[in-house]
């Protein structure tokens, strides 16, 4: 059944009312709601897993890829992790009311720039029920109402999760409409949400390149662009090669279906002869299909010839593009041309090389001698994240609580006139 623009706008209107009620709240009632939401997820895990099983079965029957099915699937352990994420957010400092900067003007007026909620935040995302919980928790803590528009493949899971969260929110004395699932499963309901300017303050898309591009290009509501993860590991001439093997394998295979998994490995020519046989064997042991350039295929004839598309690819699977480069600068040139600006890692013992890589990569996150998998709000100590922003305005990198606020200028006078 097609959802009308009026239905979506009515949903957004209710969110706007709820946002006004959330904005002045102190930390305590928000934290109490978050802890209640965490407990409710575990107490009602049976109904959540049952709803998710239906989504997973339908997705498999429809031919969804294994990587996307993995993103869709809930388990008791994943529910526990989602509840832990809510508890972590409850333990974080409330950004609302924080004074970003302030001073006394020469005329005696006190001027402060203070953090305030964004208002109504819309999240459009694909096949990841954990995003439903993460987004609800982060938005609530930062004083925002959230409109959740997940994919049709997760509609049963998301409906069940939102029902549980809303019950917990009401039990804590907060407005239920602080968390809402946008009605509809077709593109029209998404389009109505993207056109709800004046009711929705910002949209955040989380998903594949096509979803993000569609939201950015078609929305009249301001958009914070989260990014596709074509992440790179670069092994420098001065790398510890044992460390480089471990970092490459972890970056690629620890969990292949996420945006901070590495998709491309770049190897300095000076260490290629020693490093490639070792890393290719380690990747093969994990079941990774290598898409390599000529130098890589000379070492491993089983490698698939890399095409131009491979260097751009976000595989989200057990595939990796591998290339030999003549220098650090050539590696950076490759990253800047093909990369998505998400996360890059350099493995090196040279401080000068690390500094040059950091200064020239132009990505939201840069790792030095560490896995790309660290680009994550929880691992950065931010609690759950709303997404990884790859744009340069307002927010960049993992988006935690401060990134879900704007600011208000407050001036305290004593009868001051211009």
pLDDT tens-place string over residues 53-103: 999 999 999 999 887 898 899 999 999 999 998 999 999 999 999 999 999
Which residues have C-beta within 8 Å of that of residue 21, sequence separation ≥ 6? 174, 175, 178
At residue 1, does pLDDT exceed 70?
Answer: no
Domains and CATH numbers, the chain: 5-226+399-412 (3.40.605.10), 231-374 (3.40.309.10)
**Residue 390 confidence (pLDDT):** 87
Lowest model confidence (mean pLDDT) among 139-153, 210-224, 302-316, 356-370: 210-224
29/162 Cα distance (integer angstroms): 19
Q: At 224, give phi and psi (nearest 5°).
A: -100, 115
pTM: 0.85
pLDDT tens-place string over residues 226-265: 878 899 999 999 999 999 999 999 999 999 988 999 999 9
Q: Which of 9-23, 54-68, 116-130 has the highest mean pLDDT?
A: 9-23
- Cross-sheet strand order for the sheet of 202-206: 179-181, 145-149, 120-125, 202-206
69/108 Cα distance (integer angstroms): 61
What's the first-to-final CA gap in the chain, in angstroms? 58
Which residue would you say has higher pLDDT here, 398 or 235? Answer: 235
> Taking CA 135 as the corner, what is the angle to CA 199 and CA 71, rounded to the nearest 5 degrees?
125
**Residue 386 confidence (pLDDT):** 85
**Residue 334 confidence (pLDDT):** 98
194/216 Cα distance (integer angstroms): 9
**Residue 258 confidence (pLDDT):** 87
373/262 Cα distance (integer angstroms): 8
**387 Ramachandran zone, left/alpha/beta (phi>0; psi -120 to 50):** left
């Amino acid at each position: 059944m097609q959802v009308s623009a009026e239905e979506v706008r009515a949903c957004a209107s209710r969110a706007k009312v709820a946002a006004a009620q959330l904005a002045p709240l102190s930390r305590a009632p928000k934290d109490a709601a978050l802890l209640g939401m965490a407990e409710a997820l575990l107490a009602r895990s049976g109904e959540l897993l049952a709803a998710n099983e239906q989504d997973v079965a339908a997705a498999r029957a429809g031919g969804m890829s294994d990587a996307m099915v993995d993103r869709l699937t809930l388990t008791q352990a994943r529910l526990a992790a989602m509840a832990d994420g809510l508890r972590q957010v409850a333990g974080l400092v409330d950004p609302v009311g924080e004074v970003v900067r302030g001073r006394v003007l020469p005329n005696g007026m006190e001027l402060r720039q203070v953090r305030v909620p964004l208002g109504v935040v819309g999240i459009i995302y694909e096949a990841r029920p954990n995003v439903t919980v993460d987004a609800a928790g982060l938005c609530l803590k930062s004083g925002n109402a959230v409109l959740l528009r997940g994919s049709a493949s997760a509609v049963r899971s998301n409906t069940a999760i939102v029902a549980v969260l809303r019950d917990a929110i009401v039990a804590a004395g907060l407005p239920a409409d602080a968390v809402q699932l946008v009605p509809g499963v077709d593109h029209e309901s998404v389009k109505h949400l993207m056109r709800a300017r004046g009711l929705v303050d910002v949209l955040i898309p989380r998903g594949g390149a096509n979803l993000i591009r569609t939201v950015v290009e078609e929305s009249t509501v301001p958009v914070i662009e989260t990014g596709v993860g074509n992440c790179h590991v670069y092994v420098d001439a001065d790398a510890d090669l044992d460390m480089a093997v471990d970092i490459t394998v972890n970056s690629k295979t620890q969990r292949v279906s996420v945006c901070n998994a590495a998709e491309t490995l770049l190897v300095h020519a000076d260490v290629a002869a020693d490093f490639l046989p070792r890393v290719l064997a380690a990747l093969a042991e994990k079941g990774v299909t290598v898409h390599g350039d000529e130098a890589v295929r000379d070492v491993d004839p089983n490698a698939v010839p890399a095409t131009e598309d491979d260097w751009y690819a976000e595989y989200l699977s057990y595939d990796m593009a591998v290339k030999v480069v003549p220098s650090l600068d050539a590696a950076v040139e490759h990253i800047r041309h093909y990369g998505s600006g998400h996360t890059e890692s350099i493995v090196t013992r040279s401080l000068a090389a690390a500094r040059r890589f950091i200064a020239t990569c132009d990505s939201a996150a840069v790792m030095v001698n560490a896995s790309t998998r660290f680009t994550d709000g929880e691992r950065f100590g931010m609690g759950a994240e709303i997404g990884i922003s790859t744009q340069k305005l307002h927010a960049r990198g993992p988006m935690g609580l401060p990134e879900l606020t704007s600011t208000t200028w407050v001036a305290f006078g004593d009868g001051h006139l211009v």
